[in-house]
Amino acid sequence: MCDQTFLVNVFGSCDKCFKQRALRPVFKKSQQLSYCSTCAEIMATEGLHENETLASLKSEAESLKGKLEEERAKLHDVELHQVAERVEALGQFVMKTRRTLKGHGNKVLCMDWCKDKRRIVSSSQEHAVTMPCTWVMACAYAPSGCAIACGGLDNKCSVYPLTFDKNENMAAKKKSVAMHTNYLSACSFTNSDMQILTASGDGTCALWDVESGQLLQSFHGHGADVLCLDLAPSETGNTFVSGGCDKKAMVWDMRSGQCVQAFETHESDINSVRYYPSGDAFASGSDDATCRLYDLRADREVAIYSKESIIFGASSVDFSLSGRLLFAGYNDYTINVWDVLKGSRVSILFGHENRVSTLRVSPDGTAFCSGSWDHTLRVRDAFLFSCV
């Protein structure tokens, strides 16, 4: 049993509100008064805020930022690429295009792989089935492979059950799930067909129940449009990362809706975020023409992937299965392949005739697909010739 302290309760008229309550002593400028508990609470919070102006709060925040940077810098004892010097260099890569999917008649803005590793959905087509959405900016395959989610300028995310019966009208079976107040920039199913995570130009992310369309959780914190998101790969994880036009990447707890970590080192919009396969880190691609790697355990940026000759923004990034390679599609029509550990570029891929807008490695890592404003999708793989 713990000690119990007994409080002597004095009943009387509160000095502030004059109601008959249990009173407690309260000191205001060295004068003792008797307040009821409600007024005492209010006074406590007011007292804290009395001398706070926007300016003083801002300066407090600034000094905390400085302190945080100091603390992190103490742990920054070495660079990743320095430690990675002992790692064997990758050989020469030959990447070949294995499939070119043409005939969209539209810019390809987004794509996703089906878990069966073979099928792809993109903003204009799935297989040979034309998507009934216009202005689609985001699309995702359901884990079961039986449905697709998509949305864009309609501010919604809608789910379409897939059917291979060409006579069936896909649009008729559409189910509107998410409603934002601005364009939908990204969507992803969680590990189930029943929940969808969305990101929007309205600056928020949200988790939705597919069947009822109900909002399960919303995520506020970005100061501008959210452009991308990625779910953590862990079996038990309940987190995801988002990137926005406020140059911030934020990691969220799906259960509480709280931001648990934030990273702000990019110099412009973050167009794409993707977790490193272990879930301990994630990469981002930005309009500032760099890609960066952030580690969650160090709570810090650990690598930058950039070159003087790369001046156009990176629109989309993804890792190979082992996390050794980072594929990044750029607005200069190319794809750069980076050695994640050493920080160097391994390969540059040409072929697209306009911006590369989307890029994903297949679920089993056997190939990667890029979509472009040139109306095509290209599926590519790699041969690696080892250094002799």
Partner 1 sequence: MAQGSGDQRAVGIADPEESSPNMIVYCKIEDIITKMQDDKTGGVPIRTVKSFLSKIPSVVTGTDIVQWLMKNLSIEDPVEAIHLGSLIAAQGYIFPISDHVLTMKDDGTFYRFQAPYFWPSNCWEPENTDYAIYLCKRTMQNKARLELADYEAENLARLQRAFARKWEFIFMQAEAQVKIDRKKDKTERKILDSQERAFWDVHRPVPGCVNTTEMDIRKCRRLKNPQKVKKSVYGVTEESQSQSPVHVLSQPIRKTTKEDIRKQITFLNAQIDRHCLKMSKVAESLIAYTEQYMEYDPLITPAEPSNPWISDDVALWDIEMSKEPSQQRVKRWGFSFDEILKDQVGRDQFLRFLESEFSSENLRFWLAVQDLKKQPLQDVARRVEEIWQEFLAPGAPSAINLDSHSYEITSQNVKDGGRYTFEDAQEHIYKLMKSDSYARFLRSNAYQDLLLAKKKVWLL
Nearer to partner 1, 19 or 67 (CB): 67
Q: In the set 33, 40, 43, 302, which binds partner 1 (CB under 8 A)?
A: 302
Q: Is 101 in contact with 358 (CB distance < 8 Å)?
A: no
Long-range Cβ contact pairs of 258-267 (< 8 A, separation 24 or more):
259/219, 259/221, 261/296, 261/299, 262/221, 263/294, 263/300, 263/301, 265/292, 265/301, 266/290, 266/292
Contact between 117 and partner 1 per CB under 8 A? yes
User: How many angstroms separate the CA atoms of 137 and 358, rounded?
Assistant: 10
Long-range Cβ contact pairs of 118-125 (< 8 A, separation 24 or more):
119/145, 120/369, 120/377, 120/379, 121/148, 121/150, 122/358, 122/371, 122/377, 123/150, 123/152, 123/371, 125/101
Nearer to partner 1, 36 or 210 (CB): 210
Contact between 328 and partner 1 per CB under 8 A? no
Binding mask 303-322 for partner 1 (x = CB under 8 A): ----xxx-xxx------xxx
Contact between 227 and partner 1 per CB under 8 A? yes
Nearer to partner 1, 168 or 364 (CB): 364
Nearer to partner 1, 34 or 200 (CB): 200
Q: In the set 40, 119, 348, 351, which binds partner 1 (CB under 8 A)?
A: 348
Contact between 18 and partner 1 per CB under 8 A? no
Contact between 176 and partner 1 per CB under 8 A? no
Contacts of 370 (CB under 8 A, 6+ apart): 316, 329, 335, 352, 356, 358, 359, 377, 378, 380
Measured at the CA of 193, the angle between CA 154 and CA 359, to 5 degrees, comes to: 65
Contact between 384 and partner 1 per CB under 8 A? yes
Question: What Å distances lie between residue 4 and 1, 7, 22, 23, 25, CA to CA?
Answer: 9, 10, 19, 20, 20
* Closest distance to partner 1 from the beta carbon of 172 (Å): 21
Nearer to partner 1, 173 or 324 (CB): 324
- Virtual torsion, Cα 164, 123, 242, 336, nearest 10 deg: 110
Nearer to partner 1, 43 or 298 (CB): 298
Contact between 168 and partner 1 per CB under 8 A? no
Contact between 87 and partner 1 per CB under 8 A? yes
Query: Under rule CB under 8 A, which residues in 139-158 are in contact with partner 1?
Result: 153
Q: Is 244 in contact with 259 (CB distance < 8 Å)?
A: no
Nearer to partner 1, 161 or 277 (CB): 277
The DSSP-derived string for 153-172 is TTSEEEEEE----TTS-GGG
* Closest distance to partner 1 from the beta carbon of 375 (Å): 12
Query: Under rule CB under 8 A, which residues in 360-379 are in contact with partner 1?
Result: 361, 364-368, 373-374, 379
Nearer to partner 1, 14 or 221 (CB): 221
> Which one of the spans 18-26, 33-41, 69-77, 169-177 is the region binding partner 1 (CB under 8 A)?
69-77
> Which one of the spans 23-31, 119-127, 161-169, 302-310 is the region binding partner 1 (CB under 8 A)?
302-310
Alpha carbon 219 to its chain centroid, in Å, reads 11
Query: Under rule CB under 8 A, which residues in 28-67 are in contact with partner 1?
Result: 52, 54, 57-58, 60-61, 64-65, 67
Contact between 108 and partner 1 per CB under 8 A? no
| Residue pointed to by tokens 């189930």 | 192
Query: Under rule CB under 8 A, which residues in 238-267 are in contact with partner 1?
Result: 238, 245, 255, 259, 261-262, 267
| Residue pointed to by tokens 């412009």 | 268
Which among 164, 132, 165, 173 has a CA at the least distance from the CA of 145?
164
Nearer to partner 1, 36 or 225 (CB): 225
